[in-house]
A and B are shown apart, each in its own frame.
Chain A
Amino acid sequence: MPENDPKQPHDEGSGVSRREFLKISSISVAAVPIMGTHVVEAAGEPVKVYGPGKVPVELTINGKKHALQLEPRVTLLDALRDHLEITGAKRVCDRGECGACTVLMDGKAVYACAVLAIETQGRPITTVESLMQGELLHPVQQAFVDNDASQCGFCTPGFVVAAKAFLDKHPQPTAEDIRRGLSGNFCRCGTYHGIQQAIAQMAQKGV
């Protein structure tokens, strides 16, 4: 399993955590709705339930706060793409299998399609759009350009973000590290050769 595998469950958070979800499945009493939020008693404890219907959700994307009205079932990916028009992260499989939607949450790579937007409240999200410094490409991005690591480019933003997260953690990766660390992303055009070269170039520069 790749070390930075975004498929790892992340169960803390301010939304409906997995732990709370389990409790809800043994609900005993329903309570009064407040602002689209219900409180129900489950396994002897009060638990907040969001929706159905839209609820206020505040997201922190690339350092900027956004107040949205979203159904709790909306993923972070769809919130980014369809509600904020931040479309760098791509929707390809929509079920945590391909990595095209990779973004950083608390600095760690996650699949944005596998996280509910509401779960990410209070947790900073970084997308590919914020990697550039003004008009200057991030060194990882420049390495992708130099080594022709994109063809159609649809997988590229996900790869760039995954590569950045990987290099932050492994500044001097071996070829084997690269193979393991980036195996959570897929490319159909076959740009892996360029990606390997790009990351090797970064490692050499010691960036």
Chain B
Amino acid sequence: MPDYSWPAAEQRTLIGKRVSRVDAPLKVSGRAKYSYDYTRPGMLFGKILRSPYAKARIVSIDTSAAEKMPGVKAVEIIQKPGTTVQWAGDEIVGVAAVDEPTAEDAIRVIKVQYQQLPHLVSDAEPPAGVGGVPGPMSEDDIWDATDLMSPPQVASQVSQLGVTFKASPDVIDEFKKFGLPAEIVEAIQKAAYHPLAESSHSASWYQKASALHQGDPDKAFAGAEAVSEGLYGAPVITHCCLETHGSTAEWPDKDHLLVHLSTQNVSGIPGQMAEPLGLPAANIRQQQDHIGGGFGSKFAADRWDITAARLSKKAGGKPVRMMLERDSELQVAGARPSAYARVKVAAKTDGTLTAWHSESWGTGGPGGGGMPPIPYLFNIPNQHKEHTAIRNNIGPARAWRAPNHPQAAAITMCALDDLAAKLNLDPLELFRKNLGITGPRAENYREEFAIAADLMGWKDKWRGRGQDRSGSVARGLGLSIHTWGGRGHSSDCDLTLHPDGSVDIKLGSQDLGTGTRTCILMVAAETLGLPIEAISLYIGDTMYPPSGGSGGSTTIGGVSSSTRRAAVDAREGLFTKVAPALNAQPADLECVNGTVRVKSDPSRSLSWKQACSKLGAVPLTARGKNPDKSKPPDLTNSGVGGVQMAEVEVDTDTGVAKVKKIVAVQDCGLIIDLKTAESQCYGALIMGITYALYEEKIMDQLTGRMLNPNMQFYRLAGISDIPELVVHMMTGKGYDERGVIGLGEPPVISPGAAISNAVANAIGVRVPFLPLTPDRVLKALADHNLD
């Protein structure tokens, strides 16, 4: 059997080097085409009428004026009278018209009568004594539970409570793909299906998750040498993809649908659209070249996409473009659940952690949401934790880069930092002291801490809380650590060698801007001994072999493995054809520098083109797969660790916090492209600064609407907010041989906690919740002075 394993360090020509993103020239020149850019002659423009109320029953809908309007080609009622909408911005009616202004006019003349119902959009701490029995579990609830309980416990909870979703084969496959233990999958298949009944929303907005207990927390707190208490948390934020959600749909004939949907999940789209449209998945083609951001919010064909397809059908199959407006994008197209907690944590005077107690709450919109995995990373021996999920009317949550981890880090790492301050310990010492209870990556953290401390100058710069001030400017340092799984999703890759020497690769994957295209080409080029430019890569189309959705940092593991196996097999196939001409055995050959040659005698060689001409008339295609137990070794792995340190300056007169420097030390196994890997980290740090200092989905309690659904008040960090960023990737021995591991999620987990800790270190008090806006900083200072 050929050797599929990654080439050894000294043999690598491309892998691990800094290679420029292959699609950058397209992107910088405006030639890269996104779903939003897709225009076709005769294309219609779709618009959606959305609910102005956070909770209301639709009484009547009158679309007659819109239907009569010249230029309007189709009208589609999305939610019928009698339905209750659960969030402001929910879809009511869709229209398609010859141009966008006409579609907007048509939306304005549609009359909808609503009966307003009481809503809840707050996620403030639940009043004491609320919280019904736990309800049926959503898909998210189940994943969350796996963070907190053993598989048999989760399985028994699933059987007891039932599930809120239909356990269709697709759903089950997805669970399996992402490694949900078999006994839980089995429990899901057998569980009772309880759709989230409307009554359950109004009956109980608060849902108590069962309390979790480990060790003997009461005794541990009673005998504790030191106890620190605090309030921590992170609010609901949105994904704010710059390319809004949406698609263009058309029917080339009455049985076939072609969609250009902006998605992280190219191969999964037909399966999702098939049922609602009553069309075989095989008759649906999804195609996308580039995607303008996803961050976890673009896995599904959404209701507006289904509506676009229906409108197109009604309009005789003409293409309908349905891209969300910015306000809808922020209101309905994705949000990260909030999580807050009152925490008590106990330790010995030397900093050894002994007990944890938390009462947490948060919302993921109508679905409620689970407890973040707290205490994060540190498995403190004695624990008691309770969580209340708030099911409210802010709109649904979606996976947001490293689901639940940034919130868990913000709660845990800030609580530990406060504890260190209480013990008069440098937090770096307290964290190091407790690495033994962080699990398998403990040594990795130790190494990363040493490097990070060096790059930050921690030893020289760190002072106790509130000790580094000049005038109104307070300076401080903070740190945090994080982990993530990874592994590779399932991926099929076809690599074809043509008799004229050209090479192409096809896979139904997508490049979110993470560098996926570049990495696929690097792996293939390395394996075939060719320059990257010699290979054509086709992705983003369901005409190509399926690849998983880009979530959970699983893409690089998946596509690099399938590409490697395809390239090795194609190479073997070529060797078989070429060996006679070189008077050698296939096993004696190698591909180096655009030649196929005899390993022991490089002078016996053929140019790549000559070699490929030996294929005869027919191209050679090899299919590589991940996972593939028949072609070992496993080329991917799971589990990374990262350490981050932040330095801030806070003006205690104005409350403005500025990040001065962040250091990120990160491992992710074998790195394919060092350049785009580093960019992932820079980007994550910047996104982290944004959610640490600025981002929050602010809801108006009275109207139930989002108050800042625009880019003026939903503030992203700008170039002027960017401090010195130092990224250090762990490579070489101890890291490379682990295989390829994804990097999208891990580096975005720690910035919130590290920055909050730096601010606490600077001003001497904790600002409980992110984002650390000037008003919150000033309030924390004022509250402190009152004490």
Contact = CB atoms under 8 A, between A and B. Distances in A.
Partners in one complex: yes
Contact of B293 (A71, A85, A137, A189): A189
Interface stretch (A16-24, A26-34, A89-97): A89-97
Given A188-B240, A191-B679, A93 B30 contact: no
A183 to B, nearest CB: 5
A193 B689 CA distance: 13
A202 B292 CA distance: 26
Given A73-B101, A88-B30, A98-B711, A153 B290 contact: yes
16 contacts: A73-B101, A89-B30, A93-B326, A93-B710, A144-B28, A145-B21, A149-B28, A151-B513, A152-B242, A152-B291, A152-B293, A152-B294, A154-B243, A157-B29, A160-B28, A191-B683
A179 B676 CA distance: 23
B234 interface: no
A128 B37 CA distance: 14
A167 interface: no
Interface string A78-106: 10011001011111111101101000000
Nearest to B720: A179
B33 interface: yes
A207 interface: no
A127 B683 contact: no
Contact of A152 (B290, B686, B690, B710): B290
B716 interface: yes
A120 interface: no
A45 interface: no
B325 interface: yes
Given A152-B293, A188-B716, A137 B28 contact: yes
Contacts of B29: 88, 128-129, 131-132, 137, 141, 157, 160
A85 B101 CA distance: 18
Contacts of B679: 148, 151, 191, 193-194
B30 A92 contact: no
A129 B27 CA distance: 11
Say whether chain A's binding surface is mostly helix, strand, loop, or mixed.
loop
A20 to B, nearest CB: 21
Contacts of A12: none
Contact of B712 (A97, A145, A154, A157): A97
Q: Name, among B682, B717, B725, the residue most crowded by chain A CB atoms within 10 Å (CB to CB).
A: B682
Contacts of B514: 151
Given A85-B39, A148-B21, A151-B514, A196 B722 contact: yes
Contacts of B725: 193
Interface in A40-99: 71, 73-74, 78, 81-82, 85, 87-95, 97-98
B719 A146 contact: no
Contacts of A179: 719-720, 722
Contact of A127 (B25, B27, B30, B719): B30
B423 interface: no
Given A88-B29, A137-B28, A157-B30, 18 more contacts: A87-B33, A87-B34, A89-B30, A97-B711, A98-B711, A129-B29, A141-B28, A151-B514, A151-B679, A151-B683, A152-B293, A153-B24, A153-B290, A156-B28, A179-B719, A186-B242, A189-B513, A194-B682
B20 interface: yes
Interface string B236-269: 0000111110000000000000000000000000
B299 interface: no
Identify which of B240, B293, B687, B722 gathers the most chain A CB atoms within 10 Å of its CB. Answer: B293
A196 B460 CA distance: 28
Interface string B570-590: 000000000000000000000
Interface in B712-767: 712, 716-720, 722, 725
B400 interface: no
A178 B719 contact: yes
B609 interface: no
B512 interface: yes
B371 interface: no
A187 B242 contact: yes
A163 to B, nearest CB: 10
B31 interface: yes
Interface-centre pick from B25, B240, B710 (highest chain A CB count, 10 A): B25
B302 interface: no
A207 B242 CA distance: 30
Interface in B288-304: 290-295
A92 B293 CA distance: 12
Contacts of A85: 39
B242 to A, nearest CB: 4
B23 interface: yes
A71 B387 CA distance: 55
A129 to B, nearest CB: 5
B37 A82 contact: no
A170 interface: no
Nearest to A157: B30
B76 to A, nearest CB: 22
